[in-house]
Every structure is written in C-alpha cells, then in structure tokens.
Amino acid sequence: MAKAISRRGLGRAAVLLAGGAMMSRWIPSASAQDQARIRFGGFVESQEQLKQTIAVLEAYMAQNPGVEIVPEFTSFSAFTDKLATEAAGGNAPDMFSVNVDLLAEYAQRGVVTSLDEYVPDPINLADYADGGIKASTFDGQLYAIPNDAIAPAIITNLASFQEAGIELPPPMFTWEALADVAVQLTEALGPRFWGLEDAGGNYIPCDIFLRSMGKSMFTPDHQFGFEPEDLARWYAYWQDLRDRGGVPPGDVQALASSDDPSTSGLVNGRAAMNITLTDSFAGFQALVSDELVLHLLPNGFEGGDMKQHHYSYAGNSTAVWSQSPHKDRIIDIIRFMHFDPKGIELYYRQSGMVPASSAGREALAKEGSEADRKIVDYLEVLQKDPAPPRYPGVTGMSGMLRRANEGVAFGQLTPMQAAEQFISEAKPRL
Amino acid sequence: MASVKANPVFAPPLGRGRKRSGVSTRQNGVAFLFLAPWVCGILVLTLGPILASLYLSLTNYDLFTAPVWAGLANYQRLFFEDARYYQALKVTFTYVALSVPLKLAFALGVALVLNRGLSGLGFYRSVYYLPSLLGGSVAIAIMWRQLFAYDGIVNEFLLQFGIDGPSWISNPVYALYTLVTLSIWQFGSPMVIFLAGLKQIPQELYDAAAVDGAGPWRKFLNVTLPLLTPIIFFNFVMQLINSFQAFTPSFIISNGTGGPADSTLFYTLYLYEQGFTNFQMGYASAMAWVLVAIIGTTTGLAFMSARYWVHYGDESR
C-alpha cells in the first residue's frame, strides 16, 4: 500500500479534493442569487403563539418562493442563553425576539441594528401603543418593532371564587385586600389549595408594589428606584402571606416555572390566582376548563393614595441582527406580519398576542376569540390612564429576585437580608 | 524517541535495524499525513479553545466585545468575594461524595446477582443498562420531575398510607438527594464493566477457597473483592470525573435555576449561568480552570491511593 500511494499522488489527490470542495461552494451560490435563507429566532409564551407564528411565516414563504424562513423558537429562558451563545459566535439569527431588558443589553453591544431608517416607511408605527415603542427604543433609537402589547395582570379562576362564596375584589384595591382574599380562599378551598401563587420572585408585580409606594424598581437612567427597606417590605409581604397560608409554601411554589403556564398552580388545580402578564392568558385558558378572567393588581396600600400603576409595553419585539445580509427582506417580513391584513390575521388570531397597533386591537376585538377580547378590553382600560413606562432592568435579575424570595421562603434569609442580597447581585450589572 | 528505544517492547528486532529505519521514515511520513486531519482537529478544535479559555480567564469578557485584560481579578473574586461559588462547591462535593460510592456499590451488587449463572443474562444486562443509556437525557430528568414533584406519583403512593410527602425535588432539604438517587439509578455502565471483571476471576480460586472451608461471604471478601480492585479503581475514577461534571439533571429538574434556594447549584450549572446568562465568560473560564484543577487533584489522589488497595493479578508480592 505504501508504494501504491506516492507522496506526489497524495498531493494531487489533496489538491483535487480541495478544488472539489471549493467548487461545491461555488455552485449553489451562483444559482441562489435571488434566494434568501433567513433564520428567525424567538421566544413564545404558548403553543398557540408558536402555531400562529409559524403559520404567518409559511404564508409569507408561499407568497415569496425564493425566501426560506427557518424558525428557531423556544421558551424565554432557553432562548436568552441560546441567543447569547449564537451572537457571541457571530452566528445570531438574522431576526430575533427581544424584550425590554434584552434590547438594552444587545443594543449597547452592537448586536442589533437601528431601525430608524425604516420608519415611517415602510413601517408606520403611528398608532402603536406608546409603551410598546418605548420598550423597543434604547438611547433614543428604535432597535426593534414591537410585536404585541402586554400588561401585568392577575389571572383569576372565577369558579374558585364562586365555590368559596367569595366576591371578586373591585378593580382598584389594596395590597392588604389582595392578601385577605388569598387567605380566605385558602381557608375555604384548602388543604393543598391556595388562594394566590407566590409572586415574590417576579419583577413586574414587585415594580408595581414599589410604584404603589411612590418608588420603582429602576429609574430611566438605569439606577435602582428604591431603598433596601422598600424591597424588604416586598419580601415581608410574601412571607406574611406564606405564614397566613394565602400562598403555597416554598417547596410547592418552587415547582412552578415563571415562563411555563403548564407548571403553574393555577393550571394544576392548586391555586385560584396567578400574577403574570397578559400574553400568557390564552395559554393559561387553553389548559384550564374553568373560566379565567384578567384582574388588575393592587394599586395602593390601606390609608394611602390609590393610583393606576399598570403599564402596557411590548413583551416581544423583533430585532434585526446587525450583521445580517438580508435586512431589507427582514423588514418586509415584519411588514407582512404587522401591516398586511392576511399576515395580521394569521399572526395574532388565537395566539394570545395582542397587536401593538390600535387598529390591530380593534380588529382582534371584533374577530378574535373570547380570550383575545378579554385581553383587548383589559389593555384598553390601561390605555385610558397610562402609568410611566417600564424601564429596562438587568439581565439575570429574575433569577436574583427569585433566589432572594426563596431564601426567605425556606427560612435562610430575613426579608431585609433578601433585599440586600438582591441589591448586591444586581448593582454590578446596572 | 530515546524513551521509546529504551523500552524493550518497542525495540526493533536485532539485525534489521538499519534497513528498517529507512523504510519507517517513509512510512512515518505517510502515517503523519493520514494523522494530519486528526492532529489539525485536536489543535484547532480542542487545544486551541482550551488555551483560549485560559487566556479568557484572565480577562473581563462579556461575549460581545473584545476581552479586557484583568490579571487574576476573576480568581480573586471567585475565592474571596463570591458566596454562591462556595455554595456551588458544597453542592458538587456533596453530590460526588454520595453518588460515586453509592452508585458503585449498587452496580457491584447488581453485577454479583447477574453473575450467578442466570438464564437470559443478556436480557437482564440490557434492561439494567437501559437507564444509563437514557439517564443523561432530558426525558429521564423530566420523568424524575413527574415522579418526585409535590403532586407526583411518589407522594400519591405515600398518601395511600396517610403520609403527606414533601415536594422532593423542590425542597432544599431533599432536592439534592433526589438527584443523587437519579445518579445511582444510572448504574448500568459500571455494572457492565463489573460483570466483565467478575467473569475474569478464575473458578479455581473459588474452588480452592471452598476446599479451605470458605463460605460465600468469605469468598467475596478474600477472592472477589481483591481481584476486582483494578476494575473498582477504573470505575471509581471514571465516575468521579463524570460526577464533578454533572449538569443535565439539575438543569432540567430545577428549570435551569439550580434551585430551590441554590440547593442543586452544580458547579457546571453555575459556570453556565455566569457565562451565558450573566455574560461573564471570563469569570466562567476561570471557574472552568479551577474545576480542571479540582478534578486533576482528586484523580491524582485516587491514583496515589491506588498503590495501597488496588491489586493487579500479575503482581508478585
């Protein structure tokens, strides 16, 4: 064998192989000049949202045979890690979902491209919800197109209230009243059932709690908007509820993942109320046979002022990778999803997502499902007296808040220590 | 090359030295050519990234912008300023200390039972090996979640006896032990190796022991165990290294959080969180290098201890 293959022969073979490899790179690109293969990475809140997103992308591909859109969708937490890895390797999807915190992170690092040149033509955001546009803007530039309008809400199982013979609280109510209702529900429907799920590790209700005290989680200039005692009061609120039985103990609550409705107590028949965002509502309702409604979070404390503190914003916006060679094509895909009647119908109908544009919301209210209508109505209430927008936080803060809350729930930290732990972890990232 | 020549096994046969060496140079050339893809692979895909991570461990690197030299700052933060790092170390060492001996003992026990001339041995061997094949997979971790959750099958069973069980996977007191149980259950791979080792022990030794009046327990202690020590040692080292790198079970069962309250925060999970969730790849690289040192040291200690308890059949005493 050693004689059969001479060194020169091997060299020739190597040159031929390398040449072949180069040729094979040439051939498809020559015939693919008018073709585009676009990777679309994103996070979805429910199976319904995934189904509708894929449907609208397929409709676009049917109209544009040269374009292939490769969907790469997953849950929010899995998505953030995946995107970070891909972006670091210079291989980010051409277009991808961001939320307000990710947008800030990626805009300042140059991963996403400014979209100002595409507004107002072909992307006209004139009737888009202001909170959504603010959530897609960083340092005065638009970096993403808001896909949806979302807001915080208590998803509430009406049947539990009826079974317990307890009245639903009025829309404007206090944090103390919420705690009392939760405890009453547990007393009526327990054991192994609780009035409310523990939201002590959740950023948005914490922000609204702080705003009810005249503070906020973050300020527009990326600083904390609260003192340690204020956050300690938040953790003490949930510890008090745990002690009184209004929310599940720490080990039961730890089973629920914040971005998977199927693991929640509300879906698993362990709780009557879950504090979350409106974009999960359709996903929750699809998994529960009882009728669910959206209820406002508390807006003040006993003896204090009652003021609307809920903001609507974009939970999911689409950004464009700064190195994508297909920017114009991506803008056209976004245009189809947001402004083409066929695209709008496919993208939003029964997806649980509510359009950021008021025209889109009106259309959805007329033609959408019962769950869609409930979300639109809920958001309309918030548009009448909008609170200041949601300010960007820091990546990883959900984990920091949750760990501190668990520390209190499992008796490892006092509320004050939990607040200090959160501050010490989040501060270096501001 | 000098060491190769000094080794009698590799010494060329006498009388053909000169001629052979000419041929072997040419053959070596071809051999190196064929080896080239592999060598390139290991240099570019393995050694390169390893050395790059050593450099990155001395920098602040956020994945997106160029790394900035930081000297030993990451290591200083790791050892003196990061309480969660010590929690991750504690969790990982507890996991290793419990899962490795328990898994080996369980694997050996099952291997001994299977070695008793059972009919259909191949079938049982495959069945017991199955959890190891599936064990590292996401599906099994999810199944474990269903079994040991608050309203899972285990608690439903306990409820039949009036016991209101805790949520085994989401209570900091039990969560880590649930993961240890999952690890023990994946005993197939060491079991198969033990089984092969047991087959190698000569029957004469058992016969001789029987003639001397040894019972089953005595045979196990004085024949089986000493002759199996090289296999035990091999399995021990492999499991030790694997356990330090455990990631999937905690990632899936705790939804990637290492929770509740950091009770299942494996070293690799914390490393992953720092690198990919908090964008601190320099810090994560430093953690990786400390893990290499930890695994290297514990493996080295295992090898040093081997001379006191591992007996090779061809050794003369």
Is a pLDDT exceeding 90 seen at residue B291? yes
Is a pLDDT exceeding 90 seen at residue B135? no
* Contact call for B257 and A407, based on CB within 8 A: no
Give the closest of A7, A251, A395 to B167, CB-based. A251
Question: Rounded to an integer, what is the distance from CA B91 to the centroid of its chain?
Answer: 16
Q: Which two tokens stand for residue B69?
A: 């030299």
Nearest to A106 by CA among A392, A335, A428, A425: A392
The amino acid present at A45, given as its one-letter code, is: E
Instruction: Report residue B284's pLDDT band, with 50, 70 and 90 as the boundaries.
Output: very high
A255 touches chain B (CB under 8 A): yes
Q: Which residues contact B215 (CB under 8 A, 6 or more apart)?
A: none
Give the closest of B27, B150, B272 to A255, CB-based. B150
Is a pLDDT exceeding 90 seen at residue A18? no
Question: Across the strands, what pairs with A71?
Answer: A40
Q: What is the pLDDT of residue A24?
A: 39
Q: What is the pLDDT of residue B20?
A: 52
Is a pLDDT exceeding 90 seen at residue B27? no
Q: What is the pLDDT of residue B6?
A: 42
- Chain B: give the shortest CA distance to residue A88, in Å: 5
Q: Quick: pLDDT tens for A192-250.
A: 899 999 999 999 999 999 999 999 999 988 899 999 999 999 999 999 999 999 999 99
Instruction: Report residue A6's pLDDT band, with 50, 70 and 90 as the boundaries.
Output: very low
Nearest to A143 by CA among A271, A314, A351: A314
For A:285-344, CB contacts with B below 8 A are none
Q: Quick: pLDDT tens for B227-261.
A: 999 999 999 999 999 999 999 888 888 878 887 88
Q: What is the pLDDT of residue A34?
A: 59
The amino acid present at A425, given as its one-letter code, is: E
N residues, chain A? 430
- Across the range B194-208, mean pLDDT stands at 91
Angle, helix B225-244 to helix B188-200, in steps of 10 degrees? 160
Is a pLDDT exceeding 60 seen at residue A11? no
ipTM: 0.77
- Strand A152-157 and strand A194-196: pairing? unpaired
* Contact call for A109 and B262, based on CB within 8 A: no
Q: What is the pLDDT of residue B7?
A: 44
A102-111, A164-173, B42-51: which has the minimum mean pLDDT?
A102-111
Residue B51: count other Cβ atoms within 10 Å of its Cβ: 11
The amino acid present at A52, given as its one-letter code, is: Q
Residue with the bigger pLDDT between A26 and A370: it is A370
Q: Check residue B44 and report its DSSP letter.
A: I
> Percentage of chain A surpassing pLDDT 90?
53
* Contact call for A81 and B276, based on CB within 8 A: yes
Please report residues of B whose CB lies closer than 8 A to that of A2: 26-27, 30
Q: Quick: pLDDT tens for B87-128.
A: 999 999 999 999 999 999 999 999 998 888 777 777 888 888
Report which listed range, A13-17, A251-255, A320-324, A380-384, is most confident. A320-324
Q: What is the pLDDT of residue B114?
A: 87
Please report residues of B whose CB lies closer than 8 A to that of A409: 260-261
Q: What is the pLDDT of residue A323?
A: 92
Q: Rounded to whole angstroms, how far apart are CA atoms A297 and A178? A: 8
Q: What is the mean pLDDT of chain A?
A: 87
Mind giving me the DSSP string for B95-152? HHHHHHHHHHHHHHHHHHHHTTT-TTHHHHHHHHHHHHHHHTSHHHHHHHHHHHSTTS
With H, G, I as helix, E, B as strand and everything else as coil, classify residue A29.
helix
Q: Rounded to whole angstroms, how far apart are CA atoms A155 and A288? A: 11
- Residues in B whose CB is inside 8 Å of some CB of A read 26-27, 29-30, 33, 62-65, 149-151, 166-167, 169-172, 255-257, 259-262, 272-273, 276-279, 281
A86-90, B38-42, B102-106: which has the minimum mean pLDDT?
A86-90
Q: Rounded to whole angstroms, how far apart are CA atoms B276 and B63? A: 8
- Across the range B14-32, mean pLDDT stands at 65
Residue A186 backbone dihedrals phi, psi, to 5 degrees: -60, -45
Instruction: Report residue A31's pLDDT band, with 50, 70 and 90 as the boundaries.
Output: very low
Q: Rounded to whole angstroms, how far apart are CA atoms B86 and B75? A: 13
Q: Is the backbone peptide bond immediately before A228 cis, with ω within 30 degrees of 0? A: no
Compute the C-alpha angle A386/A387/A391, nearest 5°.
125
Q: What is the pLDDT of residue B65?
A: 81
N residues, chain B? 317
Q: Is A307 left (phi over 0), alpha (psi -120 to 50) or beta?
A: beta
The amino acid present at A406, given as its one-letter code, is: E
Chain A CA closest to residue B148 = A255
Q: Is the backbone peptide bond immediately before A120 cis, with ω within 30 degrees of 0? A: yes
Q: Check residue A69 and report its DSSP letter.
A: E
Is a pLDDT exceeding 50 seen at residue A97? yes
Q: Quick: pLDDT tens for A283-340.
A: 899 899 999 999 999 999 999 889 999 998 888 899 999 999 999 999 999 999 988 8
Please report residues of A whose CB lies closer than 8 A to that of B63: 84, 87-88
- Cα B12 to Cα B1, B19, B27, B29: the distances in Å are 13, 11, 15, 19
Q: What is the pLDDT of residue B170?
A: 85
Q: What is the mean pLDDT of chain B?
A: 86
Q: What is the pLDDT of residue B302?
A: 95
Q: What is the pLDDT of residue A22?
A: 39
A424-427 contact pairs (CB < 8 A, 24+): A425/A400, A426/A224, A426/A393, A426/A394, A426/A397, A426/A400, A427/A224
Is a pLDDT exceeding 60 seen at residue B55? yes
Is a pLDDT exceeding 60 seen at residue B13? no
- Across the range B65-71, mean pLDDT stands at 91
Q: What is the pLDDT of residue B266?
A: 96
- Across the range A37-45, mean pLDDT stands at 92
Q: What is the pLDDT of residue A200?
A: 95
Q: What is the pLDDT of residue A418?
A: 97
Chain A CA closest to residue B279 = A84
Q: Check residue A385 and report its DSSP letter.
A: S
Give the closest of A10, A250, A410 to B33, CB-based. A10
The helix, strand and coil proportions of chain A, stated in percent and rounded to the nearest 5, come to 50, 15, 35
